[in-house]
Amino acid sequence: MKTSPKDLISLHILVLIFGFTAILGLLIKMPAIEITFYRTLLACILLAAFFWKRVSRSGAGRRITLQILLTGILISGHWIFFFLSARVSTASICLAGLATTALWTAIFEPFFFKKRISLIDLAFGVSVFLGLWVIFRFEFDHALGLVLAILSAILAALFSILNALFVKKENPYRITFLEMGSASLFTLLMIPLYSFLSFGGVKIEFSLDGMDWFYLLILAGICTVYAFSASVELMKRMSPFTINLTLNLEPVYGIVLALLVFGEKEKMSPGFYLGTVFIVLNLILYPMIKRWRNQRISAS
């Protein structure tokens, strides 16, 4: 595909939006589970309001619909861990852990698509874990935040793979609508358990001030509904390789934004940045080497 400069600029703006999500999670004062509940509920409402014809039209049967609804549970867990990670550590730590999503996708994908795990996948997997080891060594005080971010990344990899299967049978707007609705309901049901365990040391109150509503509308409207619809539109004109390669820059943009917004609070040790750069370089090189290898196999 021939990619226009306008589309490339739009894609980088989307990556900036994705990178800003962890910052919003810190700006909103409520607990992580409340953020997830409101985000998914508002996203579901906005999708119904703006894309009702698409979300009401189904091309799949009940079995696929049920599987999509169950996948919403994974999305709920992903965002709870994501926001909780930023809350107990920093936005930078959260984004560094989330950067491993591509690694987990490479590990899990063969099991879902019934293909062999390649040596390249294993080699890059080990390299990414080396980067995580460096971060753990220099930022041990933030170990819990990094572990939560990695759990979030694992769930993100799982639901991304499942969505790649669902989109072959159902339109993407309906998939997102069903998943947001399911995630919202599951999050609501999990609130008593979350409150009992006292994650984050904050009580569940469902109280919102003016700024929380403002940030939540940005989170649901721009970071979820707009970012999703815009990325779907770009997929019509850009190759998956270009999109995935650019998305690997999300932690870089997010960490820079966090430094600009929170200043000294987000400054980490040199070891953290060394480990993060190592991870991001691996994630950028990975699809390039895979593409080169596939081209060689096709040519032979």
Per domain, the residue ranges of the chain are 5-104+142-264
Residues 46-93: pLDDT tens digits?
A: 888 887 887 877 777 888 889 999 999 999 999 999 988 988 888 888
Write out the two tokens for 184: 């919202």
pLDDT of residue 185: 94
* This prediction's pTM: 0.82
Q: Which of 253, 252, 236, 235 is nearest to 244 (CA)?
A: 235
Residues 191-229: pLDDT tens digits?
A: 877 776 665 455 666 666 778 888 999 999 898 888 877
Cβ contact 251:280 at 8 Å = yes
pLDDT of residue 72: 93
* H or E stretch covering 197: helix 172-197
For tokens 């980067």, the residue is 131
pLDDT for 7 beyond 70: yes
pLDDT of residue 183: 94
pLDDT of residue 186: 94
Cβ contact 248:284 at 8 Å = yes
Residues 257-296: pLDDT tens digits?
A: 888 888 877 777 787 788 878 877 876 777 677 777 777 7
pLDDT of residue 74: 95
The arithmetic mean of pLDDT across residues 95-104, rounded, is 80
pLDDT of residue 33: 86
Mean pLDDT over the full length of the chain: 81
